[in-house]
Amino acid sequence: MNQANRPVYLRLRDLIAAAIIEGRYEEGAMLPSVRAFAAEQGANPLTVAKAYQQFQNDGLVEVQRGVGMFVVSGAASRLRARERDEFLSEEWPDIRARMERLGIAASDLLADC
pLDDT value at residue 94: 95
Nearest to 20 by CA among 84, 67, 78, 88: 78
- Give tens-digit pLDDT for 29-79: 999 999 999 999 999 999 999 999 999 999 999 999 999 999 999 999 999
pLDDT grade, residue 112 (50/70/90)? low
At residue 61, what are phi and psi to the nearest 5 degrees?
Answer: -135, 160
3-111 adopts what CATH topology? Arc Repressor Mutant, subunit A (1.10.10)
Residue 13's nearest CA partner among 74, 72, 64, 58 is: 58
Mean pLDDT, range 2-13, rounded to an integer: 84
Q: Is 25 in contact with 75 (CB distance < 8 Å)?
A: no
Q: Please state, for a pLDDT cut of 90, what percent of the chain lies above it.
A: 87
